[in-house]
Structure 1
Amino acid sequence: MIKRAHIRQFLAVVDAGSFTQAAARIRVTQPALSSGIAELERLVGTPMFIRNRRQVRLTEAGGRFLPIARDLERGFRVADDFGRDSDRQATELKLGVIRSVPGEFLQAIVAALRSGFAIELVENSDSELRGALGNGRLNMALVSLRAGEAGAHVVPLYEEPLAMFVAADHPLAGRVEVGPDELAAETMIARRACEFLGATSRFFTRHGVRPRFALRSESDERCLQMVAAGIGITTAPVSLAIDGVVPIRVAGYDFARTLGLLIDPAWAALPDVAPLLADRGDTIGAVAAEWRRARVDAAG
């Protein structure tokens, strides 16, 4: 008989992409996880994963089983909550947030939601948040939307370009645009929370720019503060600008992001949740429009 542990183990491997990371995520040993997956595969009568040294991916049968597993996990969570205060549960909102969301913007979004919901924030990477949303551990996620991502439960908020930030007294601060080769002698600061970190590295490597790094940090605030202090330069979405830094365009560096909300359809359809979301939709839209006008359009 398939048990909840089998479903949790299966989803953990899917979301993590490896047995090692999945075991750490659900706090079991890797042999125990492998044994659980093997038992699940025996119960369903077919392999669920293709394993090799570089990655773990679903078989065709595993892909068909995935939406069933998602639904089962949601059902288990509803069962866990059965008998509790229904009003309190219906208005709980677990909101996932990527680390590069500007603090002031998040503050405004949360303020727009807090009158109707008891909010719990979860900060994590884009992939982790999407996985948690997919298996019902989050209700909404504020992330950078992917190309072509759309639908009734995808709410775009605002789009913004990335720019190179330099200190206000930097020799390049007066320039509108620079070539990537002009940055070869510059010291860089790496924003580890950047959605385009890998793509940015490849961009500069293609142009022969292999800089020294003064700082690598998960904190966008720390990175921009150190740019203002003059110890290095960094790329960032224009809305992250702080006093003492100046954005400049790098020729050919055309990355942009669209921040948006992903909403769990099952949660959004709950009778007590749907009207609350509808009531706050216009407010959230107004917050995003004002932020874009004040922080993105002004930077352009």
Structure 2
Amino acid sequence: MIDRYLLRYFLAVVDNGTFSRAAEQSNVSQPTLSVGIAKLERLIGASLFHRSSQRVHLTDAGTRLLPHARAIESSFQLAQQSVVVAEAPAVLRVGILTSIPIVAIAAAVADAHRIDPKARIELVEGNERQLTQHLTRGRVDLAVTLVNRGGDRFVEEPLYEEGYALALPALHPLAAQPQIAGEALADNVMIVRRHCEALPETSRYFTDRGVRPFFALRTTSDDNAIRMVAAGLGVTVMPDGFTAPGVVRPRLAGFDLRRTVGIAYGGRHEAMRFSRPTFVSALYSVLRRTRGGDTIPLAKLPPLDKMGR
């Protein structure tokens, strides 16, 4: 029989990438964790990891075991929740990607508080790398971040997909065009969104076309960026979801990069996907109202007015 703690050691190694960090997360010494993994491999009858000096990688047997181990751990958590009378955790800790519009998050928080006035939500902002670290270390329970990036460290639930487009002041000479070639912006002043995950691709796009503009602003605030676009300070590239009075959003010809925004659940909180927090359901409801066809259906989504507390 395989003990639960052995599967938790296995998942900790998968989620952290090294035995040392997995041991730290599991609150055991590295030798203890290594002995546990060796015992699990004996019980399974196969090696689960390829070990190297930098990171460990799953073997074919480990890859086959992973979804079952996650499902078993989630079932354990659900079973524990079903018999515990105590209240749910007082604070839901939510990581927020800094490159998504905060207006949808604010609306979801308002709806969640309307449904449950006692709800306590802590928002932790960060870029994609920082949110991954927060999820791994248990700093946040879940994160609204980029998903479908090819990893298997977290249970993910996609919310919507979008592309990137230009942001121009409404009085820009090219504002009426639905699509603009990068070369047409060669003499334009630009604004850099330093925190954007697409910055390397954006920079390469313009460099390949010989566009080397003057940068009037380098910022990590999307609100500052789009307000300065509206003021006529410069132009920039932003995800489609950003809008503001006095700003138009034509396509950038040949720039077809897209992203998927969704929920990533921390390893200790994967069961939340099955007992979806009020905030998550509220966020999806907001996105359905504001984004329409861009949203990706969630499995078994309850109506907003029937969500449990």
Q: Shorter chain as normaliser: what TM range?
A: 0.5 to 0.7
Could you say which residue in structure 1 is the equivalent of 2:87? 87
SS of the residue corresponding to residue 249 of structure 2 reads: strand
Amino acid across the alignment from 1:204: F
Could you say which residue in structure 2 is the equivalent of 1:265? 270
1:11–1:135 Cα contact (<8 Å) kept: no
SS of the residue corresponding to residue 123 of structure 2 reads: strand
SS of the residue corresponding to residue 240 of structure 1 reads: coil
Amino acid across the alignment from 1:210: R
Match of 2:122 among 112, 120, 123: 120
Structure 2 residues without counterparts, runs of 5 or longer: 1-12, 22-48, 71-84, 296-309
Matched, 1:210 2:209: no
**Post-superposition offset of 1:103:** 1.9
Match of 1:249 among 248, 251, 260: 251
Could you say which residue in structure 1 is the equivalent of 2:96? 97
SS of the residue corresponding to residue 239 of structure 1 reads: coil
If the length of structure 1 is used for normalisation, what is the TM-score? 0.65
| CA deviation profile, 1:67-93 (whole Å, cap 9, x unmatched) | 9xx9xxxxxxxxxxxxxx94152x531
* Mapping 1:273-292, distance limit 5 Å: 276=277, 281=281, 283-292=282-291
Amino acid across the alignment from 1:87: E
> Distance between the aligned counterparts of 1:203 and 1:144, measured in 2?
21
Could you say which residue in structure 2 is the equivalent of 1:175? 177
**Post-superposition offset of 1:257:** 2.5
**Post-superposition offset of 1:228:** 1.2
Could you say which residue in structure 1 is the equivalent of 2:145? 143
| CA deviation profile, 1:209-253 (whole Å, cap 9, x unmatched) | 121211110000101111111121000123212111111112101
SS of the residue corresponding to residue 287 of structure 1 reads: helix
> Distance between the aligned counterparts of 2:246 and 2:294, measured in 1?
15
> Distance between the aligned counterparts of 2:110 and 2:93, measured in 1?
14
* Mapping 1:199-238, distance limit 5 Å: 199-238=201-240
| CA deviation profile, 1:41-65 (whole Å, cap 9, x unmatched) | xxxxxxx99999xx877798xx9xx
1:50–1:57 Cα contact (<8 Å) kept: yes
Q: Give the length in aligned residue pairs.
A: 271
SS of the residue corresponding to residue 214 of structure 1 reads: strand
SS of the residue corresponding to residue 196 of structure 2 reads: coil
> Distance between the aligned counterparts of 1:159 and 1:221, measured in 2?
21
2:162–2:294 Cα contact (<8 Å) kept: no
Could you say if the C-alpha distance between residues 130 and 182 of structure 1 is closer, same or farther in structure 2, counting changes exceeding 3 Å? Answer: same
Could you say if the C-alpha distance between residues 148 and 171 of structure 1 is closer, same or farther in structure 2, counting changes exceeding 3 Å? Answer: same
Structure 1 residues without counterparts, runs of 5 or longer: 1-9, 15-21, 23-47, 71-84
> Distance between the aligned counterparts of 2:247 and 2:58, measured in 1?
49
Could you say which residue in structure 1 is the equivalent of 2:31? none
